[in-house]
Structure 1
Amino acid sequence: MTQHADARRASLLNAALDAAARGWHVFPLRPGSKRPALHGETACPGTGACAGGHVKWEQRATTDPDRIRAAWSAGAFNIGLATGPSGLVVVDLDVPKGNGDAPGGAATFAALCERAGQTVPATHRVRTPSGGEHLYFTAPTGVRLGNTAGTLAPLIDTRARGGYVVAAGSITPAGRYEALCAPVAAPVPGWLQSILRPAPKPAQPTTGPVAGRSRRYADVALVNEARNVATAADGTRNATLLRAARALGRLVASGDLTRVQVEQALSGAAAGNATQSQRYYDDVIRRGLDWSIAHNPSRGRAA
């Protein structure tokens, strides 16, 4: 290993140990990449940590310094931070592509805070190589928040259970992820939690057994499509994810499922066996849902 490569590996190891010291669970990403360095289910050798069955990156993420040192001794891995086990909700504020006049995620988030009568929270921030920001919040106790893709607003995604972010210290061809300020993550604001919390299923209408069957069908469809994505073989996962989003988008349009429910289920299923970045999968989900909702009538609206 060259002196430069050895210094980079040491820097990344220290960044991973620093995150773990905060109680944040980390796992290795491919060098210079945002993709997990761990094997997927289809390539699982069934040995080591997986001797009792395939263990996904979220379960392998750790705060154990010895395990972290052992992992990073093998290379200059970037740092994935599993938000669910870490008890975090991370708000990902992206920047517009190109030179358009569309507001960036940071400006839109500031407007959302103002609308809620709040200032932008002072919390741990990480600047991304693109110029965006990750805002770190501690997840509320007893509330299962998942990932969302554009639910708050365009260019704003969130990561919680089933999700991960690239941690500070990581380096990609576009640049470095840098911690900016406020070493402590603040609690997720109440107004934000109320938006991200999956909507309760509406009470069954009194129109007889048809509505009940529709609701049961939607619940089963959500479970089945998420399972299809989670078990899709490498090379077929993207197409499976798009088909699932389009299929479930019809149930969002009909009111049988909420968009947040579908986004969280599919994002978690895709991330559990990831071969692409989570942003890539979230974009596939967003496109599939947008297309399906636009091409299927809402309940009570003529086709």
Structure 2
Amino acid sequence: MTHDAQSALLRAALDAAERGWHVFPLRPGTKRPALHGEASCPGTGPCTRGHRKWEQRATTDPDRIRATWTHGPFNVGIATGPSGLLVVDLDVPKDKGSSDAPDGAATFGALCERAGHAVPATYRTRTASGGQHLYFTAPTGVRLTNTAGTVGPLVDTRAWGGYVVAAGSTTPAGPYEALCAPETAPLPLWIQSILQPAPRASQRPSWPVTTQSRTYADVALANETRNVAMAQHGAREATLFRAARAVGRFVAWGDLPRHTVEQALQEAGEAAGLSASECRSTLRSALDWSIAHNQRRGNAA
């Protein structure tokens, strides 16, 4: 790699840091962190008081960045959590030739339309694989983590515990390129409502499980039904999705019949202003997911 290319990567790292985004080096030409792992930690330098992972060592300090990137043509990683970012990763099918499934961008666009919004105008990059990264400012006081498929197929998110490859980096598959103006929009509330985990059922083993579970399940269904019916325009489908995910565990555990849950939430969704078909589609996918992931009591997803 030429000196000019190495200088361009240093500039990309400094540009990200100027935005307040915490960066760290990735191995040249790859998406893998260039920092040592815990097993090989020397216990010196920044790790004197214990091993520090890439998320802890990511920095906005221009002097540290210059010192690092003078040692090699490192790609640039952005630690999303410390940077106050939530990045939506719109992927493409792995087998582009044989799959007729929509890519992440199409899925996300359909979700936005069903939520009553245009695709948010925010800073975005094209990834080496042909996908997109949409950057959002994470909400204050909420610690969001990574998700895979929670929002939709081929739609993942990166927050605390995750990172993305910055524009200006290059892999054998291609470059990462900025696609639009530099403004980063706040995370839309309807996306946040999908990403925030549903409350877990409390554990109260002091009386028979059947009576306790059914009572708790009835209360949970009533609460979620009310939440859906009162959902505001723009958050209705996301609220219905979260409610079905939350109550679906009780269907999996045998505490509530599926048709009871579907009927209650269907009526609530229609009362909030969703069409019958929108409710059915959302309920089907959310309940199927929740039931499949909650086969054992206590393992609520």
- TM-score under structure 2 normalisation? 0.69
User: Which runs of structure 2 are paired with 1:76-225 in the superposition (5 Å)?
Assistant: 76-98=73-95, 99=97, 100-204=99-203, 208=207
Which residue pairs with 1:266 in the alignment? none
Q: Distance in 1 between matches of 2:294 and 2:201?
A: 20
Moved over 2 A (4+): 202-211, 293-299
Deviation for aligned residue 1:120: 0.3
1:223-250 per-residue CA deviation (whole Å, 9 max, x = no partner) reads xxxxxxxxxxxxxxxxxxxxxxxxxxx9
User: Which runs of structure 2 are paired with 1:47-86 in the superposition (5 Å)?
Assistant: 47-86=44-83
Out of 163-172 and 95-104, give the one that drifted further: 95-104
Quick one: which amino acid aligns to residue 172 of structure 1? T
Deviation for aligned residue 1:210: 5.9
Deviation for aligned residue 1:129: 1.3
Quick one: which amino acid aligns to residue 38 of structure 1? L
Question: RMSD of aligned C-alpha atoms?
Answer: 3.0
Structure 2 counterpart SS, 1:120? coil
Q: Distance in 2 between matches of 1:39 and 1:132?
A: 29
In structure 2, relative to structure 1, the CA distance for the partners of 1:296 and 1:150 (3 Å cut) is: closer
Q: Which runs of 5+ in 1 are unaligned?
A: 215-249, 256-289
Deviation for aligned residue 1:6: 1.1
In structure 2, relative to structure 1, the CA distance for the partners of 1:136 and 1:295 (3 Å cut) is: closer
- More contact order relative to length (CA 8 Å, sep ≥ 6): 1
In structure 2, relative to structure 1, the CA distance for the partners of 1:161 and 1:209 (3 Å cut) is: farther
Q: Distance in 2 between matches of 1:209 and 1:77?
A: 59
1:198-220 per-residue CA deviation (whole Å, 9 max, x = no partner) reads 11123456872769xx9xxxxxx
Q: Distance in 2 between matches of 1:209 and 1:144?
A: 35
Deviation for aligned residue 1:96: 1.2
Contact 1:91 1:136 in 2 (8 A): yes
In structure 2, relative to structure 1, the CA distance for the partners of 1:254 and 1:58 (3 Å cut) is: farther
Q: Answer with 1 or 2: which has the greater Rg.
A: 2
Q: Which runs of 5+ in 2 are unaligned?
A: 214-248, 255-287
Deviation for aligned residue 1:152: 1.1
In the alignment of these two chains, the number of paired residues is 226
In structure 2, relative to structure 1, the CA distance for the partners of 1:139 and 1:5 (3 Å cut) is: same
Q: Distance in 1 between matches of 2:101 and 2:204?
A: 41
Q: Distance in 2 between matches of 1:164 and 1:76?
A: 19
Which residue pairs with 1:276 in the alignment? none
Which residue pairs with 1:32 in the alignment? 29
Q: Distance in 2 between matches of 1:118 and 1:30?
A: 39
Contact 1:122 1:182 in 2 (8 A): no
